[in-house]
């Protein structure tokens, strides 16, 4: 069932600016929608508003055809998975998963069948009679999923569900969730600060910043056509270079980029993604530390191997730092090592005109 | 002898001298005239009535304070209100006040010369020198026990658990019964049993308000006191042995029960 949020606003007592400020977005039926943003961007509050755990000061929520304003949290039929798992500590895995069914007074036989199916779904058959304290983090989170799914929710809400897990388990559970979703197609809203999680899991991304929606769209569109400087820097981890416009172009750091429509002298911000940079190793003139044609060179401060790619921390000729990702094979082919002088070319930059503060 | 083995030896001597030895002395005295005399001392109607009164009032107080203490702990754990600090301090007051003073306060409050006492007296209700006064004194003296047992457990319960229960469709009453109560029940029971054990031995607060009428308002500890006063050390010791045995076995049972319950639920934390 699709969810529509219109103009959601929420102030907390004592907080000056609203935690959630006029937030409007759609979560399409049967899809995973991600609320992506840094901590404090209001995304978890939006999730709690949807669940009914908080009440909005203003705005409207509609689930399918139903206005949620007069529907209590208990009656919304949403499954909520908490970052802290929030399992009932004194109940076994089986009792935890049964809880929502017992509330609904489902006949015991049906309860047992449903719970057995859920336990199988999350592959915890051998641990059904354990207490949460006897499980690993990944297992606990699977119990939390099973408990939320057992009530056959109309909407599944996931609040940073993988944040407390170690890296390997996180990747495994992410893939498991993807498969689970492909089988069941429960409309899902996922809150995360991890853009790779958003890219991998969701069909629809809503980027949030300081309580507001910055951009909403398919992950690829958000990545390739960021609507604001914040999105450009947050999604993709771009380096910000600043400069001034002159005749439709701008010199930012030591690069020259197109700045169409910019008035002469206007501030220009260029965001450069780590993958959108070409680094080559020219012949260096040892006297000037420039290349043999006199072009100024950047310096490789540090190389970090991330497996297939290498992260290069560069210092540009004007002293600005820049992060670049390159295939490990390419780095090896060029023979680039720490301390080298290198030539830097921009394949692409996202250019914003005007004075932005992010 | 190395320094490492000196400290445990010291501790053992201290525990033995100050704790075990007096208990042994009471045990030996209780049976000094043989098991028959021990049984006879307990079988005397005055002793039996005193013991019965003590167990009955203690049990009532344990039940009442289990409920009241849990509610107080709940208010303290969940309210962020202005008076919380004051309330918190007030709860411990009964521990800070000498129990004899507690008794005195009750005499002043509900004695026939007070307004409240006179008002009750006019309606034919007598509090002072009845079992009701004993219960009130014990309720006051043991009030902090359940609160202090339950409060830390309540504060430790993740608020997310209540939110999770709500999203699963549970209204607050259901959540309290199925999520909160099972989590705090061991602490409530432990607090109640400690309250009972404490009530068994209370002397100071009771002796002033009870009137100490044999067979009616004379409690077991006051009975022990009377026996000592009249030189009946065997009788005093016999009752003491029963009180010690009862309260020690209760504490052992609670402790074992709580550990067995807690172990699988907190593993690896």
The ipTM is 0.83
Give CA–CA dist A216/A298, Å, rounded: 36
CB atoms within 10 A of CB B195: 28
Q: What is the pLDDT of residue A357?
A: 42
Give CA–CA dist B122/B119, Å, rounded: 5
Residues B107 and B66 in one domain: yes
Chain B hits for A100, CB-CB cut-off 8 Å, are: 168-170
Which segments of chain A have a pLDDT < 50?
357-358
Q: What is the pLDDT of residue B269?
A: 44
Q: Is the pLDDT of residue B212 over 60?
A: yes
Give CA–CA dist A33/A49, Å, rounded: 16
Residues B17 and B83 in one domain: no
Determine the 3-state secondary structure of B127 from DSSP: coil
Size of interface A-B (CB pairs under 8 A): 80
Contact B264 A134 (CB under 8 A): yes
Contact A90 B174 (CB under 8 A): no
Q: Which residues 111-170 of A are in CB contact (within 8 Å) with B?
A: 130-134, 147-148, 151, 157
Closest partner residue to A86 (CB to CB) among B164, B169, B265 is B164
Residue B240 to residues A87, A189, B54: CA-CA distances in angstroms?
A: 47, 66, 13
Chain A: give the shortest CA distance to residue B70, in Å: 18
Domains of chain A: 3-234 (3.40.50.300), 239-353 (2.40.50.100)
Residues B20 and B85 in one domain: no
A222, two tokens: 């958000």
Are residues A268 and A243 in contact, defined by beta-carbon separation less than 8 angstroms?
yes
pLDDT in tens, B37-47: 999 999 999 99
Residues B51 and B19 in one domain: no
pLDDT in tens, B140-193: 999 999 999 999 999 888 889 999 999 999 999 999 999 999 989 989 999 999
B101, two tokens: 């003073």
Q: How many domains are contained in chain B? A: 2
Chain A: give the shortest CA distance to residue B158, in Å: 7
What are phi and psi for residue A5, nearest 5 degrees? -115, 130
- Which of B159, B168, B172, B176 has the most A C-beta neighbours within 10 Å, making it the best mutation to test the interface with A? B168
Q: What is the pLDDT of residue B267?
A: 62
Contact A133 B269 (CB under 8 A): yes
Chain B hits for A131, CB-CB cut-off 8 Å, are: 264-265, 267
Residues B199 and B236 in one domain: yes
Q: What is the pLDDT of residue A256?
A: 84
Work out the percent of chain B whose per-residue pLDDT is above 90. 67
Residues B13 and B117 in one domain: no
Q: What is the pLDDT of residue A292?
A: 66
A255 touches chain B (CB under 8 A): no
Residues B20 and B100 in one domain: no
Residues B197 and B120 in one domain: yes
Give CA–CA dist B117/B79, Å, rounded: 35
Contact B265 A51 (CB under 8 A): no
Burial label, A213 (beta-carbon count in 10 A; 0-12, 13-18, 19+): buried
**Residue B6 — pLDDT band, cuts 50, 70, 90?**
confident
Higher pLDDT pick, A79 / B80: A79
What are phi and psi for residue B146, nearest 5 degrees? -70, -40
Residues B16 and B123 in one domain: no
Contact B167 A84 (CB under 8 A): no
Residues B9 and B104 in one domain: no
Instruction: Strands of chain B (E only): list them.
Output: none
Residues B2 and B101 in one domain: no
A103 touches chain B (CB under 8 A): yes
- The mean pLDDT of chain A is 90
Are residues B87 and B75 in contact, defined by beta-carbon separation less than 8 angstroms?
yes
Residues B100-108 have a mean pLDDT of 93
H helix intervals, A161-279? 167-184, 195-201, 219-224, 229-234
Q: What is the pLDDT of residue A285?
A: 67
Q: Is the pLDDT of residue B2 over 60?
A: no
Contact B160 A102 (CB under 8 A): no
Residues B145 and B166 in one domain: yes
DSSP string, B54-95: HHHHHHHHHHHHHHHHHHHHHHHHH---TTHHHHHHHHTHHH
Q: What is the pLDDT of residue A181?
A: 93
Nearest residue of chain A to residue B268 (CA atoms): A133
Chain A hits for B182, CB-CB cut-off 8 Å, are: 90-91
Contact B265 A148 (CB under 8 A): no
Q: What is the pLDDT of residue A294?
A: 65
Task: Output the domain CATH number for residue B225.
Answer: 1.10.3720.10
Q: Any residues with CB less than 8 A from the CB of B86 and at least 6 apart, and which?
A: none
Q: Which domain holds residue B53?
A: 34-267
Closest partner residue to A78 (CB to CB) among B160, B167, B269 is B167
Residues B71-86 have a mean pLDDT of 82
Nearest residue of chain B to residue A100 (CA atoms): B168
């Amino acid at each position: 069932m699709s969810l529509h949020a219109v103009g959601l606003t929420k102030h907390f007592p004592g907080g000056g600016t609203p935690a959630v400020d006029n937030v409007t977005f759609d979560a399409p039926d049967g899809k995973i929608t991600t609320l992506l943003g840094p901590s404090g961007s209001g995304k978890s509050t939006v999730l709690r508003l949807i669940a009914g755990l908080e009440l909005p000061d203003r705005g409207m929520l509609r689930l399918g055809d139903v206005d949620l304003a007069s529907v209590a949290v208990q009656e919304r039929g949403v499954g909520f998975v908490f970052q802290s798992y929030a399992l009932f500590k004194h109940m076994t895995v089986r009792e935890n998963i049964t809880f929502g069914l017992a509330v609904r007074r489902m006949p015991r036989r049906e309860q047992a069948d449903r719970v057995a199916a859920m336990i199988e779904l999350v592959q915890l058959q051998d641990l059904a009679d354990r207490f949460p304290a006897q499980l690993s983090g990944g297992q606990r989170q699977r119990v939390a999923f099973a408990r939320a799914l057992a009530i056959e929710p109309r909407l599944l809400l996931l609040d940073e569900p993988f944040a407390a897990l170690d890296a390997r388990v996180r990747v495994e559970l992410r893939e498991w969730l993807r498969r689970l979703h492909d089988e069941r197609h429960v409309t899902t809203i996922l809150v995360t600060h991890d853009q790779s999680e958003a890219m991998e899991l969701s069909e629809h991304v809503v980027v949030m910043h300081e309580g507001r929606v910055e951009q909403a769209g398919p992950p690829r569109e958000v990545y390739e056509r960021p609507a604001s400087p914040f999105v450009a820097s947050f999604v993709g981890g771009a380096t910000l270079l600043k400069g001034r416009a002159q005749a439709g172009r701008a010199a930012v750091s030591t690069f020259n980029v197109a700045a169409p429509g910019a008035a002469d002298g206007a501030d220009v911000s260029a965001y450069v993604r780590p993958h959108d940079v070409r680094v080559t190793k020219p012949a260096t003139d040892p006297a000037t530390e420039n290349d043999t044609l006199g072009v100024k060179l950047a310096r490789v401060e540090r190389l970090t191997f991330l497996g297939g790619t290498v992260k290069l921390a560069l210092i540009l000729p004007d002293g600005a730092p820049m992060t670049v990702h390159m295939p490990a094979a390419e780095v090896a082919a060029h023979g680039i090592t720490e301390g080298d002088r290198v030539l830097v070319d921009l394949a692409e930059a996202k250019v914003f005109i005007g004075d932005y503060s992010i | 002898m190395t320094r490492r083995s000196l400290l445990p030896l010291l501790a053992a001597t201290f525990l033995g001298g100050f704790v075990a030895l007096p208990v042994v002395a009471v045990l030996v005295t209780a049976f000094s005239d043989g098991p028959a005399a021990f049984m006879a001392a307990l079988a005397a109607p005055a002793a039996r009535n005193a013991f019965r009164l003590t167990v009955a009032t203690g049990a009532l107080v344990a039940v009442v304070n289990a409920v009241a203490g849990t509610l107080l702990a709940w208010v303290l754990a969940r309210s962020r209100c202005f008076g919380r600090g004051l309330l918190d301090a007030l709860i411990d007051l009964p521990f800070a006040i000498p129990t004899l003073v507690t008794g005195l306060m009750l005499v002043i409050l509900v004695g026939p010369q007070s307004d409240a006492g006179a008002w009750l007296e006019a309606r034919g209700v007598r509090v002072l020198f009845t079992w009701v006064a004993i219960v009130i004194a014990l309720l006051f003296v043991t009030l902090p026990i359940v609160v202090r047992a339950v409060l830390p457990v309540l504060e430790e319960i993740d608020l997310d658990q209540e939110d999770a229960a709500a999203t699963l469709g549970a209204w607050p009453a259901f959540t309290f019964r199925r999520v909160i109560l099972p989590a705090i029940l061991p602490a409530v029971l432990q607090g109640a049993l400690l309250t009972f054990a404490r009530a068994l031995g209370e002397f100071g607060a009771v002796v002033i308000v009870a009137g100490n009428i044999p067979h009616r308002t004379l409690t077991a500890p006051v009975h022990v006191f009377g026996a000592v006063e009249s030189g009946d050390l065997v009788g005093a010791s016999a009752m003491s042995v029963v009180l010690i045995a009862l309260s020690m076995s209760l504490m052992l049972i609670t402790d074992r029960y709580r550990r067995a319950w807690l172990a699988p639920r907190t593993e690896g934390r």
